[in-house]
Structure 1
């Protein structure tokens, strides 16, 4: 039998001499116990090594979780809260390493952003208050321009009232004629009251508030208010509208913007003529600062027959305090305020003009502001 086929056996040979015969003594010793011991030793070492490695792994995971994982989660949560606008969020790490440095930097960033936001909020509130004061000042300035025309408008009914009152006082009117005079006086007083109320409503400071408004009626109301001013200059005010058109707008603000455009048109016309206000719908491409594709808009045009605007002046007409009028005739706020009011409604004002042939100011309002009655129609 081949020796290699007998594993686990230790063979030892010892030479022997018996008389003249020489030989060797073979000793066979099985290695079963040694192999078992070796196997047990290797197994124990492997198990011990695995246990130690597992223990080190668990300790490393726990330390990593405590020193890295949890701080990183807190930093991620802080970043998310800051991104959502919670600038009062802070994180404090009880360790002195790079993550703690990062946490301090993020806390300082949040504090800086909170201070910046508070400053922006205060500046925005101040800007809005200033803008509202400018708008109101512009409205009062327009009222001042209308005052002389309104006074002339009140002159006729006052003369009627005075004449009828004298007839009653002198006894000239008797019986049914007295009642007729009283009725006429009542009608004229109501007419004057309506004129004064309309002027006061226009001048009154009011909080911006959107409500369904019939633009056709708003245009008619505005032209009635400006009729005395136009009549004194020999100017006819005409309006063209496709029909009733309701939008959710601030009627007072929109009337102020339209009034400014019409008053500017009246002042631009140095000789008698016709100033037209057209109301309808048109497709238009919004300006770059507003953005958006070409779409259908509600369009309100004010066309005058004045001297027009030069190409050099045209780009500056909406700048605050810019005016081509003589000193004392205008503040340069009207067009700027009007543009701001229309922008607050999501629209814009455009202008086209040709020297010697008049100007056209166009108000564009978003059609999605359509009132409920028109939407149902």
Structure 2
């Protein structure tokens, strides 16, 4: 704090009382004026002369009421009544002129005191509150500016305490929650959210720390402006929650902003489905070539072989009865007649399982935007995705490993959506490898500190340049145009992760490979 120059002049005609009065009031940072009960001024400290244009000569001619009138005429009119009440501070509604010519805002207090060497006195205290006044006006102006901005925005904006109690809600928030603003203040924000959104909201807030003060997720709501009992209109909101912390690291409060991304979700949904069809086309073409055609021969020929066996089986059984020691290929004919039908039936059943696998793969392309959430094991999701990508993985690396975390908690999500994330990440990793000796690893772990289950995909490929890394999740931004990349895989994966209240983190460096981490919140039990 910058110390101001205070004149050393003090006023005290009574030299006998001067030492005692100076000892009490000379060093105070506020103006002090003392007067006898008859109103004659007997003391004024240096701060009084700094704070006012008054001089010692002026005080010799002034009474206590005159001094009071310098600050507020209304106060001196009711001086006796004011002195009879309990001492209190009064804010002066106009600034006063200081000795320097500047203006100052003050507050005053008048009371009666008993002082050593001076007896009973009237006392006036004048406190310079200019800095406080300016600071408060600045805060008020910033508050008004903040409210003028947020009140005109269409986005839902509200503030709440760590116990979820709302402290502010803009007009859009009041309309969305269906309550007047005064009815919202003090109420829990969670009670105004649907159960599934409430769960995501709580999980998102729980991840906020001083190091990561902002978190976000996307959720589907019913549009309050377009309610239809038979066909409620969907409303997608992107919630962005920011925490504000004290210097000690303790949370102070939160601000939540919800932006309408319904149109964006509709566009993303179309793009996502198109990308999934592109990915599926690649997979299905490989499966059709490598599995479907050979399997068709099996399914056609296995029944013919079974018919042939039925035709020759009676003769072989007769030979086995006539000659118990007869054998074929070192196997007794009695065992042949017993096991060959089982082996042929196993071939038929195996080919049917392959046919079912191809059918399930085709189901992967179906639009599942309206499918419901379910409790999922992340290990099962990864296992299915690895099965779908096994051929691609084998073509690109001989060093593939999967480490499934033990005892992982369940997550709540859409199976095909989450499988697509893993498929996209594995496909990207395979394309980044330049030789089969480079490794590709997948790992699932439970990160207890953040309350999330992580899917980590690591490769030893070419890596990503620092200038490209921040943009790899942007739609249509691709570093593999020469390989047919569409620039949609990571963008879609990020969107799906957000849809599940999660995150997609990319870490990479040229020549050092890439690490992609999908963090999904643990389902609340």
Partner of 2:489: 334
Residue 166 of structure 1, CA deviation = 5.1
Q: Is residue 279 of structure 1 aligned with residue 414 of structure 2?
A: no
Residue 201 of structure 1, CA deviation = 2.4
> How is 1:1-377 mapped onto 2 (pairs within 5 angstroms)?
84-85=174-175, 124-151=261-288, 152-155=290-293, 157-161=295-299, 164-165=302-303, 167-168=305-306, 174-175=312-313, 176=337, 179-180=341-342, 182-206=344-368, 207-245=370-408, 246-272=410-436, 273-282=438-447, 295-327=450-482, 329-367=484-522, 369-370=523-524, 372=525
Retained in 1: the 8 A contact 2:400–2:439?
yes
SS at match of 1:84: helix
Retained in 1: the 8 A contact 2:397–2:430?
no
Which structure has greater helix proportion? 1
SS at match of 1:203: coil
Q: For the pair shown, which has the larger CA radius of gyration, 1 or 2?
A: 1
Alpha-carbon distance change, 148 to 121 in structure 1, aligned in 2, over 3 angstroms? closer
Structure 1: how far apart are the matches of 2:502 and 2:171? 35
SS at match of 2:481: coil
Retained in 1: the 8 A contact 2:432–2:462?
yes
Alpha-carbon distance change, 237 to 161 in structure 1, aligned in 2, over 3 angstroms? farther
Residue 281 of structure 1, CA deviation = 1.9
Residue 204 of structure 1, CA deviation = 0.9
Retained in 1: the 8 A contact 2:497–2:518?
yes
Residue 159 of structure 1, CA deviation = 5.0
TM-score, with structure 1 as normaliser: 0.59
Structure 2: how far apart are the matches of 1:350 and 1:87? 33
Structure 2: how far apart are the matches of 1:276 and 1:83? 45
- Deviation string, structure 1 residues 202-225 (Cα, Å, up to 9, x no partner): 111112421101111111111011
Retained in 2: the 8 A contact 1:261–1:335?
yes
- Deviation string, structure 1 residues 296-328 (Cα, Å, up to 9, x no partner): 422110011211111111111101000011357
Alpha-carbon distance change, 237 to 138 in structure 1, aligned in 2, over 3 angstroms? farther
Retained in 2: the 8 A contact 1:230–1:236?
no
TM-score, with structure 2 as normaliser: 0.43
Relative contact order: is structure 1 or structure 2 higher (C-alpha 8 Å, sep ≥ 6)? 1
Structure 2: how far apart are the matches of 1:165 and 1:154? 17
Retained in 2: the 8 A contact 1:238–1:275?
yes
Structure 1: how far apart are the matches of 2:412 and 2:489? 23
Retained in 1: the 8 A contact 2:299–2:352?
no
Which structure has greater strand proportion? 2
SS at match of 2:175: coil
Structure 2: how far apart are the matches of 1:248 and 1:173? 55
Structure 1: how far apart are the matches of 2:276 and 2:482? 19
Retained in 1: the 8 A contact 2:306–2:341?
no
Cα RMSD (Å): 3.3
Retained in 1: the 8 A contact 2:405–2:444?
yes
* Structure 1 residues without counterparts, runs of 5 or longer: 1-79, 89-116, 285-294, 373-377
Structure 2: how far apart are the matches of 1:353 and 1:359? 4
Runs of 4+ residues over 6 Å off in structure 1: 80-83, 120-123
Alpha-carbon distance change, 158 to 353 in structure 1, aligned in 2, over 3 angstroms? same
Structure 1: how far apart are the matches of 2:388 and 2:177? 51
